[in-house]
């Protein structure tokens, strides 16, 4: 968006302005599985910048995606895909985009696992399982 401020000084006045839009960039890439090599077709990829709301698209059969008309600045790419029965996510933040630049990125899905165990309490000298106990698991990386 560009704005030109001025006045029409008399009826019928003709004013000519040249409007030059800032050159924009391209972000293209591939979403790969946890091995860092296998492309993931059909993965959801969301791109956000400081001046654009998140935009969503899906990878092609080779796991590729491309965003055009990206404004300068940092770009945050998140991805989500179901591999087998496990939903995996990925995050990639680009460096500062320059006008007219093409950024090639790889978004790697995170490895995820299973947490198993028991909640117990000490009763006398014995450990006793606690039925219907609530517990929470969190991580300190994306998606937290």
Name the pLDDT band for 121 (thresholds 50, 70, 90): very high
**Parallel/antiparallel/unpaired status of strands 25-32 and 102-108:** parallel
Positions of E strands within the chain:
25-32, 44-48, 55-58, 64-70, 76-83, 86-93, 102-108, 120-123, 126-129
pLDDT by residue (tens digit) across 74-119? Answer: 899 999 999 888 889 999 988 767 778 888 999 999 987 777 889 9
Mean pLDDT for 18-46 is: 92
Question: Does residue 21 carry a pLDDT above 80?
Answer: no
Q: What is the pLDDT of residue 143?
A: 67
CA 72, chain centre distance (Å): 16
pLDDT by residue (tens digit) across 33-70? Answer: 999 999 999 999 999 988 888 999 999 999 999 999 88
Coil, helix or strand at residue 73 = strand
Question: Does residue 144 carry a pLDDT above 70?
Answer: no
Kindly report whether the global pTM for this prediction surpasses the value 0.75.
Answer: no
**Parallel/antiparallel/unpaired status of strands 64-70 and 25-32:** antiparallel
8: tokens are 């029409």
Q: What is the pLDDT of residue 74?
A: 87
Residue 45: strand pairing partners: 57, 79
Q: What is the pLDDT of residue 109?
A: 94
- Nearest partner of 95 among 87, 86, 105, judged by Cα: 105
Q: In angstroms, what CA-CA distances link 134 with 54, 69, 112?
A: 34, 47, 21
Q: What is the pLDDT of residue 1?
A: 67
């Amino acid at each position: 968006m560009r704005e030109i401020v001025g006045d029409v000084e008399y009826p019928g006045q003709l004013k000519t302005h040249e409007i030059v839009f800032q050159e924009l960039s391209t972000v293209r890439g591939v979403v790969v599985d946890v091995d860092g090599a296998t492309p993931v077709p059909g993965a959801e990829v969301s791109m956000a910048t400081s001046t654009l709301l998140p935009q969503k698209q899906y990878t092609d059969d080779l796991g590729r995606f491309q965003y055009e008309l990206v404004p300068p600045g940092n770009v945050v790419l998140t991805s989500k895909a179901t591999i087998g029965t496990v939903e995996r996510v990925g995050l990639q933040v680009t460096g500062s985009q320059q006008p007219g630049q093409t950024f090639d990125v790889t978004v790697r899905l995170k490895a995820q696992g299973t947490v198993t165990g028991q909640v117990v309490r000490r009763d006398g000298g014995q450990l006793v399982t606690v039925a219907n106990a609530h517990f929470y698991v969190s991580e300190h990386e994306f998606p937290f």
